[in-house]
Structure 1
Amino acid sequence: MISEEIHEITTDDGTRLTSVLEVPRSPAMGAVVILQGSGNVSYDGDISSDFLGFGLQSQKPLLSRQIAHILAQKGIASLRYSKRGVDDPSLLRQQTIAYLQKDARAALRNLQARFPGLKSGFVGFSEGAVVATLAAQTAAVDSLFLLAPLTRPFLEILQYQFVTWPVELLRRTLDLDGDGIICDEDFRRENIRELPLTRASVQELLGTQNQISLEAGCTVYYQGLLQAVLELGRHPPLSDWAESMFALPDFKTVASNTHCPVYVYQADEDAQVASQWVKDDVRSFPALVLTQTFPGLGHAFCPMAGTYGQIKTSGPFDQSFLECLGRHVAEEFKI
């Protein structure tokens, strides 16, 4: 029977983080630390927020728990833990990349002490994939499994999320004649009443003209949204985290110095980071094993919601993705 054990891991600075060790029924073939996506996220990995979306059809997206369960079924032990700031809210401002790296390495040492002699690695989702790659530069890790990694500078990623993606979604959904103009009739034809990301009414975008240019109108509208997001990031509680994201080292440089086997998983309908960026950038890993893509799924490897895929979802992970990940981890760690 698969067992879940509640523990605490102690980080380098003495902070205690609640963790869950999940152990398979048979002797473990390997062990991984599961690193969750951005936000004040507990050990089960629910990343839901206004920026990242909510569970598809009101399902609870416990992403880290889903990964742990599928890995246990494949004979792999896992450790997942709450970020600093979850157990002790006074530490929320320490939820930066520098601290997250150190905490990931402490978790890995804890796991390796429990399973000496077994291969070990990181499974990181989104922000967690970045943390995993950085932590692997100085940690004794055998493999990396990176889910929807953020491979570009943070400002470029935000530009994609809040401007490029919504404008391109409107273009391919509504601008059927390719003239760069969308009008009230286009929205009515597709039964679209709200805009991507904001859920604002279509009329808020169109105004009294009942039509708008994708470049001169839609792009400007969403650039205003991006500026509002950037302003939020300049103030607590997001400012320390945002500053650390803007200071991330060049992904390709870090990847080129990562010599363990690397598996990458990317959803083709990702609204957070362009899928093609990831496919191109991860080629910098010298020991890249594969890049597995998943059509029809968004950032959290889950279908997008809304009448035309305009609403982000935070999970749960699609079963086809989970089975693929579980199979690859088991094959890599097979004794």
Structure 2
Amino acid sequence: MRLTTIMTILALATLVVVACSATSDRSDQPDPANNPASAPADSGAGLAGVWQGRLEVMGQSLNATLRFVSSPDGFQGTIDIPQQMAFDLALAAISLSEQTVSFTLPVSPPLQATGNLTGNQLNGRFSQGPYSGTFSLTRQSAADASATVVVPEPVGEAVSLELAGGVLHGSLLRPDQPATMGVLLIAGSGPTDRDGNSMLLPGRNDSLRQLAEALAANGFLVLRADKRGIGRSVWPGLREEDLTVDQYAADAAAWAAWLRQQEGIRHIGLAGHSEGALVAMLASQLGQVDALALLAPLSMGFLDTVLQQLSGAEPRLLDAVRRITAELQSGRNVADVPAELQSLFRPSVQPYLISLARHEPARLLGSLPVPVFIVAGGRDLQIRLDDVRALAAARPDATFRELADMNHVLKAVGPDQADNRAAYSSPDYRLADGLVAGLVDFFRALR
């Protein structure tokens, strides 16, 4: 299997371009649409305005809209990358010197960009950690820009949870009739938002959004939330190197406690997808949880899964992976990481990997007293069916379902791998047959 495919599949990397960044409310930003400088202009117009074009990185071509306005203190700006569900990310260190433009996207690691301004064209290069890419932008009129940026409509009531240092954000879907059971959906690894969409991919699959809608239609109060560092759950000072899976579990437990406080709720279920299944299991140890649903769950130790999926890599890289994972499993950071493996093993993500290595899913599952539902997909390209069966064996009393046509993002797909991968970036694929019915039957038995 190609290494680039592995990096996309594992999705632990905080993607090039967007990562743990502080989003901003557009109402607090100067609006170029109300600034005459945003109209098309000649080369003397400077940087101010609305710019649209593309970012080219890692074989991906991403639409982007940048907005710059001048102020007494210099320039202010934001960037939208709709394919990555990223809107109004604040830019920093914006400068214009003669025809040279530079700016920074203050994420972890930061993105540094430098370009050349020629009339209404702005072209240049950017770098972020071990990656580099190019951008090509054209100044637009305000009307043109506003017509082409589409912000997905939220589904559900916006809710938030204050924590030490920041605020987590989520969406609550209420059924038509009063609910007695609340269900928290927990997203998988990497930059995956509350709807199940990954910033690593060029489109939305909306798997968790669709699952939330289906469960709410069947009478459950459903909460889905952005993990800290992802989507709306970001704040200044939040660093990738400070994240651990145990912290994600504590956040999930806090959301579960919040959900239990909602009117009429007597039972709480956690439904974790992929790595989110491990988070759900850990969270169930931290608070009162009545049921666990593990959806296409991470079934081996994470670093063992990495080794398994990279088994087809060239010997030099495979040897490096073995060396790095052995050190991480021993709780030690690794300084010498080949450039090709930086996406998976960069220094800032190693504390998170070490935290993952401390937990073995089957042993953990066997120790939990709550009812468990496990579902595996016959067309999952990331988690082997045999591994999920081995996980389920740790809880012989668990409800276990194998859905022949389900892929890793819970969608019904055909046998063609191209069709399977297309489902990762399209909301048009339906949830796999039997997934919703199985969950509904499992949760209803507890109400």
**TM-score over 0.5 (shorter chain):** yes
2:378 and 2:406 in contact (8 A); partners too: yes
**Hey, what's the Cα distance between the residues in 1 that align with 2:432 and 2:420?**
22
**Hey, what's the Cα distance between the residues in 2 that align with 1:140 and 1:25?**
26
**Hey, what's the Cα distance between the residues in 1 that align with 2:320 and 2:380?**
19
* Residue deviations 1:304-335 (CA, integer Å, cap 9, x gap): 7966678475365524144334433452344x
**Hey, what's the Cα distance between the residues in 2 that align with 1:111 and 1:71?**
15
Q: CA deviation at 1:79?
A: 1.2
Q: Which residue of the partner structure matches residue 400 of structure 2?
A: 291
Q: Which residue of the partner structure matches residue 66 of structure 1?
A: 210
**Hey, what's the Cα distance between the residues in 2 that align with 1:128 and 1:24?**
24
Aligned residue pairs: how many? Answer: 269
* Residue deviations 1:114-158 (CA, integer Å, cap 9, x gap): 145521110100011000011112321111011011121222211
* Residue deviations 1:275-301 (CA, integer Å, cap 9, x gap): 11111222212641x111111332112
**Hey, what's the Cα distance between the residues in 1 that align with 2:183 and 2:403?**
23
Q: Which residue of the partner structure matches residue 28 of structure 1?
A: 179
Q: Which residue of the partner structure matches residue 205 of structure 1?
A: none
Look up the SS of the partner of 2:192 in the other structure.
coil
- Which among 332, 354, 357 is matched to residue 243 of structure 1? 354
**Hey, what's the Cα distance between the residues in 1 that align with 2:320 and 2:377?**
25
Look up the SS of the partner of 1:284 in the other structure.
coil
Q: Over the residues paired in the alignment, what is the CA RMSD in angstroms?
A: 3.0
Structure 2 CA distance for partners of 1:239 and 1:261, relative to 1, 3 Å: same
Where relative contact order (Cα < 8 A, 6+ residues apart) is larger, the structure is: 1
Look up the SS of the partner of 1:8 in the other structure.
strand
Q: What does 1:174-189 align with in structure 2 at a 5 Å threshold?
A: none
1:8 and 1:16 in contact (8 A); partners too: yes
Q: CA deviation at 1:220?
A: 4.5
Q: What does 1:296-315 align with in structure 2 at a 5 Å threshold?
A: 296-302=405-411, 303=413, 311=421, 313-314=423-424
Q: CA deviation at 1:38?
A: 0.8
Task: Choose between structure 1 and 2: higher strand proportion.
Answer: 2
**Hey, what's the Cα distance between the residues in 2 that align with 1:133 and 1:144?**
7
**Hey, what's the Cα distance between the residues in 2 that align with 1:283 and 1:123?**
19
Is 1:125 the counterpart of 2:273? The answer is yes
Q: CA deviation at 1:241?
A: 2.5
**Hey, what's the Cα distance between the residues in 2 that align with 1:38 and 1:328?**
27
Q: Which residue of the partner structure matches residue 212 of structure 1?
A: none
Structure 2 residue runs of 5 or longer lacking an equivalent are 1-154, 323-337
Q: CA deviation at 1:46?
A: 0.7
Look up the SS of the partner of 1:32 in the other structure.
strand
Percent of aligned positions with the same letter in both sequences? 24
Q: Which residue of the partner structure matches residue 179 of structure 1?
A: none
Amino acid across the alignment from 2:194: Y
Is 1:113 the counterpart of 2:264? The answer is no
Structure 2 CA distance for partners of 1:243 and 1:105, relative to 1, 3 Å: same
Structure 1 residue runs of 5 or longer lacking an equivalent are 168-217
TM-score (norm 2): 0.54
**Hey, what's the Cα distance between the residues in 1 that align with 2:341 and 2:169?**
31
1:259 and 1:285 in contact (8 A); partners too: no
Is 1:161 the counterpart of 2:309? The answer is yes
Amino acid across the alignment from 1:253: R
Q: What does 1:34-113 align with in structure 2 at a 5 Å threshold?
A: 34-47=185-198, 49=200, 54=201, 60-86=204-230, 87-88=234-235, 90-93=237-240, 94-113=242-261
Q: Which residue of the partner structure matches residue 290 of structure 2?
A: 142
**Hey, what's the Cα distance between the residues in 2 that align with 1:146 and 1:108?**
16
Structure 2 CA distance for partners of 1:276 and 1:292, relative to 1, 3 Å: same
Structure 2 CA distance for partners of 1:92 and 1:66, relative to 1, 3 Å: farther
2:403 and 2:432 in contact (8 A); partners too: no
* Residue deviations 1:233-262 (CA, integer Å, cap 9, x gap): 332543333232233x22222112111110
Amino acid across the alignment from 1:37: G
Look up the SS of the partner of 2:292 in the other structure.
strand
Q: What does 1:187-198 align with in structure 2 at a 5 Å threshold?
A: none
Amino acid across the alignment from 2:366: S
Q: Which residue of the partner structure matches residue 343 of structure 2?
A: 232
Structure 2 CA distance for partners of 1:134 and 1:155, relative to 1, 3 Å: same
Q: CA deviation at 1:221?
A: 8.8
2:294 and 2:374 in contact (8 A); partners too: yes
1:124 and 1:146 in contact (8 A); partners too: yes
Is 1:18 the counterpart of 2:169? The answer is yes
**Hey, what's the Cα distance between the residues in 2 that align with 1:106 and 1:245?**
20
Q: Which residue of the partner structure matches residue 281 of structure 1?
A: 391
1:70 and 1:322 in contact (8 A); partners too: no
**Hey, what's the Cα distance between the residues in 2 that align with 1:273 and 1:329?**
23
- Which among 314, 328, 335 is matched to residue 441 of structure 2? 328
* Residue deviations 1:17-63 (CA, integer Å, cap 9, x gap): 111111101111311111001112332221352xxxx47xx5x2122
Task: Choose between structure 1 and 2: higher helix proportion.
Answer: 1
Computing the radius of gyration from Cα coordinates, the structure with the larger value is 2
1:5 and 1:22 in contact (8 A); partners too: yes
